[in-house]
Structure 1
Amino acid sequence: MLNITKNSLHGKVDLRQYASGKKVFNDRNQKYFNRFLIIFGILLIIMLFLPWTQTVPGKGYVTTLTPEQRPQTIQSPIPGRIEKWFINEGDHVKKGDTILYISEIKNDYFDPQLVDRTGDQILAKKSSQNSYTSKIQFLNNQIVSLEQERKLKSDQAHNKLQQSQLKFQSDSIELEAAKTNLEIAQRQYERIKTLNEEGLKSTTDMENYRLKFQEAQAKKIAQQNKMLAAKNEIINAKIELNRVDAEYSEKISKAQSDRSSAESSMFQNQVDISKLETSYANYDKRRDLYYILAPQDGYINKAIKGGIGETFKEGEALVGIMPSNYELAVETYIDPINMPLLHLGEKVRVQFDGWPAIVFSGWPNSSYGTFGAEIVAIENFISSNGKYRVLLAPNEDDYQWPKEIKIGSGASTLALLEDVPIWYEIWRQLNGFPPNYYSAENAVNAKDQKK
């Protein structure tokens, strides 16, 4: 245990007799030190009230502003085999330049005259279509002729029926006259017969009247036969009329059936022509796909498929290309806790990897080597790395971004929020609170005015 005494050393020994004691216990040095502490304290208090810009850090990489400006791969929509390369890696190509030539690997398209043969089939089908059209026209004319002939035959049969009906009426009238003559002859014969029996008329007179009576009977019977014959003619005329209707209905129905068959064949032929024209267009388009063309101006990065004779499937990447015309942007990732603090149009400071910079988080205007940007897009769904993606575009009011920056290089970002006192920022950091949440009205209004 330590043996601590209550005796003071300076009470027994004068420390001022030593050089170090003289320097330490010099009143003048204490006065300077006290002044230093006072000035330092005042400066510290003043610094605590200086403005400090709250920021949201992020880490990302350089990309392009629009999707069509980003590096891409060129694919073939059809399977094939590489036959010839027209470029080398690193070459600059323009839109429409041929990159490579491929050939078919499917036996359905081996025929080099496939497009021409399909065109010949279309011409043959179109000629057949004209034949069907002519046949339908002829059948229409035939149907019209049959309709006219049926009308004439029907009128003729109607006239014959009317004649038979009139003849039947005439025979009926003549039959009534014959009946009247028979009744007269019968009464005369009966009177003569009575007179003969009384002796007033001779037998010769009676025989004459009996002969007349018999002739009247014969005329009546003959007239009845004529009336029945006229009635039979009416029936025959009706039968003829029905026969004419049935005969021409059958002929017209047959012609209409032939026309329907021709129309059905014509429509089927039209379907075949449409299919052949579709096949022709597909074959012609497929023939154009044998040449893989550059979709836009750019540089060939890498030939993914190499060599001659190598086969590939449809949609498989063949070569990579980097567009030569692009606008730089930064794709940064922000923690989910800071997402409510970011809004479209807000200002951001960017530091590029490999570019010398001195960064003061709270005083962005005093930073060196950082460049201005603004938020143009915020992803609403979290990325696979557990953060939210934010797209930044160059701020036109700030310094231009270095042209030496390459797409894909890293970048650190600081999203600028509100200005707060330093004491408040220290208090917030010590307590682990997030930056102040604020409304984005100012940022949105500024963006609208800029547009």
Structure 2
Amino acid sequence: MLNISKQSVSDAVHEKYELHSLKTLHTPRSAVILKRWLLAIVIILAVILVLPWQQNVNGKGEISALTPKDRPQNIQNIISGRIEKWLVREGDLVQAGDTLLVISEMKDDYFDPNYPKRLQEQLLAKGDAIKSYQLKIQSLDNQIIALQENNNFSLQKARNKVRQGYAKVTSDSTDVIAERVQVNIAQVRYDRGEDQYKNGGLVSLSELESRKLKLQEVQAKLISVQNKLAISRQELINAKIELNSINAEYAEKIAKAQSDRSSALSSLATGEYELSQLQNKITNVDIRRGQYYVKAPQEGYIVKALKAGIGETIKEGESICTLQPSAPEMAVEMYVRAMDVPLIEAGREVRMQFEGWPSLVFSGWPSATVGTFGGIVKVIDRIDNNKGEYRLLIVPKVGKGEQVWPKQLRMGSGVVGWVMLDDVPVWYEIWRQLNAFPPTLKEEPKAALKQK
């Protein structure tokens, strides 16, 4: 029955004949309900496909601190030693400068309890030695000045003596010339008298002998003057030799004094070096003795003791315990894939789910999400973690309607986060996910624009 005519006979037929085959031709009630449900689901899905969906980049990480000083740190000892006493327990809150443990010396160079006193005595002795070197240098300086003055006086005296020698030689040379003239005159008179005595007797014998005697006297005087000139010349030579020897003599004395002064300067420099070493050693010993008390660098909680027993030895720079700062500036370290890093800028909003905090998450509909906390991208690392992932540092988001991060959060707790991008239709996001395309980025966040 096609029910084409307006006059239906199906009811009359059913009432009169009660045919089972005709009864089975009616549509079941359950099929109608299923059809309506399927139609409603299709309509709902169609509406959902055109709803806005906020794209996001997901990642995992853990709770950390924004600044390195707020992150857990290992307290290390500067010197090696033996643990004598623990003054704190795990979980204790300590202030900056509180003593955590006491150690004792284990190097035999520092066993002597009077070692600083011994070093002070050495320091005083070395100071006295330096003063003596300074006095010796001063004495040698005075000696060199005196030698130089004596050298000048001796040179002046020798030069005067040379001048006197020249004058004496000149005087004796004049006497020799005068005596030679006298000898020539006496010789001429004697020869003339001898001729006169032989030829005519004009000169008596006594006169001739007197002239001869005079000649002999003058000749003897000439020899004497010549000898005196030779002595003067010899004295002049000796004066010149003495003048030259004075320079050599005083140069040797001055050189020896300068050599002694250089030796004293070298000893003084060595003494000052040793004095500086002693002063440095005394300071190092004082600082080393202060290192017997390991102190807290800042306020925080003692998390774990890495060295436990009394009498246990520790090396230089070895970790003793872990300290967690008491009031760190909380942040989240989250790692994202390298292909998503170009889409993320500083200032992007992040929604986070902390481990241990119940939440209902719709990553594309933040307004419908319950139990997540807001954050802002603060830092993006320039290098990866050798696994193809980049680290983001996320700080709490402050604003109206934002939930404050719980105070119960602990360092190292796990975090799942979503960096929120732009809004797209749901159908586009499904198509993108099916094709494994990266999210789209239409514009940068306002915070990034302000920074630029």
Q: Same fold (TM over 0.5)?
A: yes
Name the SS for the 1:149 alignment partner. Answer: helix
Q: Distance in 2 between matches of 1:343 and 1:70?
A: 25
Find the counterpart in structure 2 of residue 418 from structure 1.
422
Match of 2:433 among 407, 429, 435: 429
Report whether the alignment pairs 1:273 with 2:275: yes
Counterpart of 1:197 in structure 2 is: 198
Taking the aligned partners of 1:194 and 1:46, their CA distance within structure 2 comes to: 178
Question: Alpha-carbon deviations, 1:251-302, whole Å to 9, x = none?
Answer: 2222222211111111001111111112111111110010010111011112
Q: Secondary structure of the residue that 2:27 maps to in structure 1? A: helix
Q: Which residue of 2 aligns with 1:348?
A: 350
Give the match's secondary structure for 1:280. Answer: helix
Amino acid in the other structure paired with 2:143: Q
Moved more, 314-323 or 379-388: 379-388
Say whether 1:214 aligns with 2:220: no
- Counterpart of 1:322 in structure 2 is 324
- Please say if residues 16 and 25 of structure 1, whose CA atoms lie closer than 8 Å, have aligned partners that are also in contact: no
- Counterpart residue number, 2:166: 165
Residue of structure 2 equivalent to 1:5? none
| One-letter code aligned to 1:159 | N
Aligned counterpart, 2:374: 372
Residue 63 of structure 1: CA displacement?
Answer: 0.8
Matching of residues 141-160 of structure 1 within 5 Å: 141-160=142-161
Q: Secondary structure at the match of 1:177?
A: helix
Residue 21 of structure 1, aligned match among 27, 45, 53: 27
C-alpha contact (below 8 Å) 1:359/1:370 kept by paired residues = yes
Q: CA deviation at 1:422?
A: 2.2
Contact 1:15 1:21 survives alignment (8 Å) = no
Mapped to 1, the partners of 2:308 and 2:30 lie a distance apart of 82
SS at match of 1:255: helix
* Secondary structure in 1 matching 2:379: strand
Q: Which residue of 2 aligns with 1:254?
A: 256
Q: Provide TM-score, normalisation by structure 1.
A: 0.88
Structure 1 counterpart SS, 2:351: strand
1:119 Cα shift? 2.0
Q: Does the 8 Å contact 2:94/2:299 carry over to 1?
A: yes
Number of equivalent positions: 431
C-alpha contact (below 8 Å) 1:341/1:438 kept by paired residues: no
Give the Cα–Cα distance (whole angstroms) in 2 for the partners of residues 124 and 256 of structure 1.
Answer: 26
Query: Take 1:350 and 1:197, find their aligned partners in 2: how far apart are those partners?
Result: 162
What is the deviation of 1:157? 1.7
Aligned pair in 2 of structure 1 residues 181, 358: CA closer, same or farther (>3 Å)? same
Describe the shift of the 1:438–1:381 C-alpha distance in structure 2 as closer, same or farther (beyond 3 A). Answer: farther
Which is further off, 339-348 or 51-60? Answer: 339-348
Structure 2 residue identity aligned to 1:265? S
8 A Cα contact 2:345 2:445, kept in partner: no
Q: Give yes or no for the alignment of 1:243 onto 2:245.
A: yes
Contact 1:357 1:368 in 2 (8 A): yes
Q: Does 1:93 align with 2:94?
A: yes
1:112 paired residue number:
113
Unpaired runs of at least 5, structure 1: 1-12
1:126 is aligned to 127
Change (3 A) 1:24 1:167: closer
Partner Cα separation in structure 1 for residue 22 and residue 372 of structure 2: 56
**Conservation of the 8 A alpha-carbon contact between 2:347 and 2:446:** no
Answer whether contact 1:345 1:447 (CA < 8 A) is retained.
no
TM-score by length of 2: 0.88
In the alignment, what sits opposite 2:3?
none
Residues of 1 paired with 2:86 and 2:21: CA distance? 94
- Find the aligned partners of 2:26 and 2:208 in 1 and give their Cα distance: 204
**Matching residue's letter, 2:29:** K
What's the secondary structure of 1:299's corresponding residue? strand
Per the TM alignment, residue 230 of structure 1 is displaced from its structure 2 partner at its CA by 0.8
User: Partner letter of residue 144 of structure 1?
Assistant: I
- 1:296 maps to 298
Does the 8 Å CA contact 1:15/1:22 hold for their aligned counterparts? no
Q: RMSD of the alignment, in Å?
A: 2.5
Structure 2 unmatched runs, 5+: 1-18
Q: Which amino acid aligns with 1:21?
A: T
Give the direction of change, closer, same or farther, for the CA distance of 1:439–1:118 in structure 2 (3 Å limit). Answer: farther
Q: 1:258 to 1:439 in 2, by over 3 A?
A: farther
Is 2:270 the counterpart of 1:264?
no
The change in CA–CA distance for 1:140 and 1:216 in structure 2 (over 3 A counts) is same
Aligned 8 A contact 2:81 2:103 in 1: yes
Q: Deviations over 1:351-371 (max 9, x none)?
A: 111112121111223322222
Structure 1: distance between partners of 2:325 and 2:446 = 36
Shift of 1:421: 2.4
| 8 Å CA contact retained: 1:56, 1:338 | yes
User: Relative to 1, partners in 2 of residues 1:234 and 1:333: Cα closer, same or farther, differing over 3 Å?
Assistant: same
Distance 1:237 1:438 in 2: 111
Amino acid at match of 2:207: D
Partner of 2:188: 187
Letter in 2 for 1:310: E
Where does 1:327-338 land on structure 2 (aligned, <5 Å)? Answer: 327-338=329-340
Aligned to 2:449: 445
Which amino acid in structure 1 is aligned with residue 23 of structure 2? Answer: Q
- Contact 1:303-1:319 at 8 Å conserved across structures: yes
Q: Shift of residue 442 of structure 1?
A: 4.6
In structure 2, the CA distance between the partners of 1:185 and 1:14, relative to structure 1 (3 Å rule), is farther
* Corresponding residue SS for 1:111: coil
- 1:11-52 Cα offsets, whole Å, 9 max, x none, are xx87662597363798xx89x949x83x76666555434332
Instruction: Return the letter of the residue paired with 1:320.
Output: T
| Contact residue 347 and residue 445 of structure 2 kept, 8 A | no
Deviations 1:300-324 (A, max 9, x none): 1122211211112222221221110
Q: Are 1:226 and 2:228 matched, yes or no?
A: yes
State the 1:440 CA deviation. Answer: 4.7
- Tell me the secondary structure at the aligned position of residue 408 of structure 1: coil
* Maintained 8 Å contact 1:340/1:437: no
